[in-house]
Structure formats: C-alpha cells, structure tokens
C-alpha cells in the first residue's frame, strides 16, 4: 500500500479520506488491500490487467478509483467483472474528467452494458474504448454503440471477438458514415459474414477520418472485398 507523500491542504484531506474509505472497505470485506497509488502525483496510467477484480475486490477498487484525480488511462482487461462489477466501476468513473482511455477486454460483461453506455454518454473525455472479447450480442453492443454514435467523440474503438448482430452492424455502418472522430476500429473475429459485413464496408467510402480498420477473420466474401478496395481508393483509408 503506497502513499504519494502529499502535504497538507484540502486536496490532501480528500485523498486521505478516500484512502481510509478504501482500507475500511477492505477490512469490511475481509480482503487484503492491494498496492494502489494515492496522492500527488496520481498515476496517469493505471494498468490493472488480471488484477483479480471480482465481487468484493471490485467494490474496494471502485472506492480507490474515486480518490484518483488524474488517471488518463485505465486498463482492467481480463478481470471477471461481469455486469455488476462493471456497474460498480462505471459509477466511480463518471466524475473522472481526466480519463480518456478505458480498456475492458475479456471482462465477462456480456449484454449488461447499460452503465457503460451511460458512462460514455456522461464522460465525453473517453475517446479510446476497448470492449473486445466480452460475449456481447446485439442488445449489449447496441447500448455501447448508441452512446458512441450520439457522442461522436470516440477516436479508437475495439469490438473484436464479440458476436454482435444485425442491428449493431447496421448502427456500425451509420457510425462509419456520419462519425467524424473515429481514427481506428477493430472489428476482427466478429463473425460478420457477408451480409452484415457488407452493411459496414459499404459505408467506408463515406468516412474521411478513419485511418485503420481491422476486419480480419470475419468470413467476408468477394463483394465485401471489392467494397473495401473501393473505399480505400475513394477515401484513402490505410
């Protein structure tokens, strides 16, 4: 357990309060406090991949995150958060204005994405989002994509290894057609096949901001390949 060695002041009192809240919650839940950084300077990158965030640990982590004021990149990949854990974490991030990159790959989210959609809507500073490999089908993916579409601030988006569905593919096409912020998109291993894939790739020609898109391992046919080639020629996607 680390302290940032902060001095007196109102900000110090706030940090100290969150530190005590975190330790109290750990004691209440009978778990060992993990080494988290508090105080100034707060870490701008917090990598907690495979941290073991399940159940009670997630509750304690959410309290710890509320005490952070400058975290720009938060990675929680390969933690079995599930829907309830995700809800807890998202609630702690709504007021974190410094957060611009959120990585949640392999967190067992499934279709319980209501709070994630709300977070993307409320915190428009988040411009990089990775929710790959979460078993998201149409209902869950639509919640995320609607927030992305309405906000039009997302720069990097990874949906890889989620099955998606017809409606989410249609909305992805609309994001590509009308979105002006996207620079990178990963749609690999989504089992798009020809019909769903075509609804996405035909919109590529209308996009002038995208610089990279991964469509590999989707079983796309020759018609899709031709549409991609045409889009590359017309809009210089590389």
Please report which residue ranges of 72-221 form alpha helices under DSSP H: 82-93, 114-122, 138-151, 166-178, 193-201
- How much is the pLDDT for 208? 86
Tokens of 164: 């998606």
| Beta strands per DSSP E along the chain | 45-47, 73-75, 101-103, 128-130, 156-158, 184-186, 212-214
Q: Which residues contact 116 (CB under 8 A, 6 or more apart)?
A: 86, 90, 104, 109, 131, 143, 144, 147
Q: In what order do the strands lie in the sheet with 212-214?
A: 45-47, 73-75, 101-103, 128-130, 156-158, 184-186, 212-214
- How much is the pLDDT for 57? 81
Distance from chain centroid for Cα 177: 22
Q: What is the CA radius of gyration of the chain?
A: 20
- How much is the pLDDT for 157? 98
Distance from chain centroid for Cα 146: 14
82, 112 Cβ separation under 8 angstroms: yes
- How much is the pLDDT for 16? 59
- How much is the pLDDT for 51? 85
124, 151 Cβ separation under 8 angstroms: yes
- How much is the pLDDT for 235? 65
Query: Which class for 27: exposed (0-12), middle (13-18), buried (19 or more C-beta within 10 A)?
Result: exposed
Report which of 214, 203, 147, 146 is spatially closest to residue 178, judged by C-alpha positions: 203
Whose tokens are 């002006």? That residue is 180
Whose tokens are 């998109």? That residue is 185
Instruction: Return per-residue pLDDT of the chain as tens, 238 residues.
Output: 333 444 445 455 555 555 666 667 666 766 566 555 444 445 689 999 998 887 778 888 888 888 788 899 999 999 999 999 999 999 999 989 999 999 999 999 999 999 999 999 999 999 999 999 999 999 999 999 999 999 999 999 999 999 999 999 999 999 999 989 999 999 999 999 888 888 898 898 888 899 999 999 999 989 988 888 888 777 654 4
- How much is the pLDDT for 159? 98
Query: Which class for 6: exposed (0-12), middle (13-18), buried (19 or more C-beta within 10 A)?
Result: middle
């Amino acid at each position: 357990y680390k302290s940032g060695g902060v001095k007196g002041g109102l900000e110090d009192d706030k940090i100290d309060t969150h530190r005590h809240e975190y330790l109290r919650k750990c004691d209440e839940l009978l778990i060992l406090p993990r080494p988290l950084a508090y105080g100034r300077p707060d870490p701008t990158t917090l990598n907690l991949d495979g941290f073991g965030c399940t159940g009670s640990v997630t509750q304690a982590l959410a309290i710890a995150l509320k005490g952070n004021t400058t975290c720009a990149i938060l990675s929680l990949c390969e933690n079995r958060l599930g829907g309830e854990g995700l809800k807890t974490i998202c609630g702690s991030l709504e007021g974190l204005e410094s957060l611009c990159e959120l990585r949640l790959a392999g967190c067992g989210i499934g279709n319980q994405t209501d709070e994630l959609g709300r977070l993307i809507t409320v915190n428009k500073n988040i411009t990089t989002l990775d929710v790959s490999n979460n078993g998201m089908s149409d209902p869950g993916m639509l919640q995320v994509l609607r927030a992305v579409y309405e906000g039009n601030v997302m720069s990097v988006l990874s949906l890889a290894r989620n099955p998606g569905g017809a409606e989410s593919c249609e909305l992805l096409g609309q994001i590509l057609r009308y979105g002006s912020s996207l620079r990178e998109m990963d749609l690999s291993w989504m089992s798009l096949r020809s019909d769903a894939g075509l609804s996405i790739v035909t919109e590529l020609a209308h996009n002038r901001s995208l610089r990279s898109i991964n469509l590999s391992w989707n079983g796309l046919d020759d018609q899709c390949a031709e549409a991609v080639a045409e889009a590359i020629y017309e809009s210089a996607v590389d």
